Amino acid sequence: MTSEVDGDTTELSRPARRQAEIAAYVVKHGSVSANDLVEAFGVSVMTVHRDLDELERQGVVRKYRGGVSAQPTSVFESNVAYRLNTAHAEKAAIARHARAMIEPGMSVMLDDSTSALALIDLIEDITPLTVATNFLPAITRLSQLRDITLLALGGIYSATHDSFGGMPCAEAVEALHTDLLFCSVSAVSSTHAFHQEEEIVLVKRAMLRSARTKVLLVDHAKLQRTALHRLAPLTDFDVVIVDEKTPQDLIEPLRDHGATVEVAKL
């Protein structure tokens, strides 16, 4: 009743899920009062405020006296899509498929996507290995691993994505050239990859220029949608990995337009 956003919302702490639901609620209603949310979600007013503070920190809503209002949908979309990360099993399958492409001694670049995060859990034992990323959760995890050379891509921190971006980041990327790039996007048409936010596009484009082999990770939810900014034609990627649940009739068009599509088995 409270949420328009569906999917497998397990793997998410209770408050995190509630926050995502609140975000959806706020976006749907445009602007609501704290008390409305108290009723809608059955928690105390204090908790509502705490949730709203967090959402505001992430740039999803704006608080003012008496309530909150939604920020531009682009922000909401990419944030909530990220938070209420669905399709865990599919992501894992894609990650496993991607992992097979990595060999000891390589250098790998990862972008700020949950798909990339799934990959990290699988590469511990590929050694030696150099990993470059601008994604803070990824950096944190990689810093614990003994045998991996971590190259953090710095830049301006974005609370919405929990990653670093902007010009400083693009420059850091440009100073590198890795063997592999694994990246994801918010939408994929039959010909192009898309993303909501311009600043992110900037960094991803730089990444595409800085890698020898480029791999796009796409779970089926991304397909046949578009988003504001066109990132690159799919033919720019050496491989596009989709999960097994992707309908065959969505895969064909990609191939027809010249993309190399591989299907990750569960």
Partner DNA sequence: ATAACATAACACCAGAAGGCGATAAGAACG
Partner DNA sequence: CGTTCTTATCGCCTTCTGGTGTTATGTTAT
Per CB under 7 A, residues contacting DNA are 13-16, 18, 33-35, 42-47, 49-50, 53, 63-67
**Buried/exposed 28-41: b ≥16 CB within 10 Å, e otherwise:** eeeebebebbbebb
In the set 146, 248, 249, 265, which binds its own copies (CB under 8 A)?
Answer: 146
Residue whose CB is less far from DNA, 35 or 143 = 35
Residue whose CB is less far from DNA, 140 or 149 = 140
Q: Minimum distance between the CB of residue 203 and its own copies, rounded to whole angstroms?
A: 12
In the set 15, 38, 56, 190, which binds its own copies (CB under 8 A)?
Answer: 56
Residue whose CB is less far from its own copies, 167 or 266 = 167
φ and ψ of 233, to 5 deg: -70, 150
In the set 152, 239, 250, 263, which binds its own copies (CB under 8 A)?
Answer: 152
Is residue 171 a contact residue for its own copies (CB under 8 A)?
A: yes
* Separation between Cα atoms, residue 110 and residue 108, nearest integer Å: 7
Q: Minimum distance between the CB of residue 217 and DNA, rounded to whole angstroms?
A: 25
Give the amino acid at 68: V
β-strands 148-152, 129-133: how paired?
Answer: parallel
Residue whose CB is less far from its own copies, 113 or 133 = 133
Specify the 3-state DSSP secondary structure of 243: strand
What is the token pair recorded at 13?
A: 């702490």
Residue of 173, 190, 177 whose CA lies nearest to 249: 190
Q: Site map for its own copies, 82-101, x if CB under 8 A?
A: --------------------
Q: Site map for its own copies, 102-141, x if CB under 8 A?
A: --------------------------------x-x--xx-
What is the token pair recorded at 179?
A: 């063997």
What is the token pair recorded at 78?
A: 């990419």
* Separation between Cα atoms, residue 260 and residue 241, nearest integer Å: 9
* Separation between Cα atoms, residue 195 and residue 204, nearest integer Å: 10
With beta carbons less than 8 A apart as the criterion, state whether 170 and 210 touch: no
258 binds, among DNA, its own copies, none (CB under 5 to 8 A by kind): none
Contact region with its own copies (CB under 8 A), list: 5-13, 51-59, 96-104, 229-237: 51-59
- Which residue in this structure is represented by tokens 């992501």? 91
Residues lying near its own copies in the complex (CB under 8 A): 53, 56-57, 134, 136, 139-140, 142-144, 146, 149-157, 159, 162, 164, 168-169, 171-172, 175-176
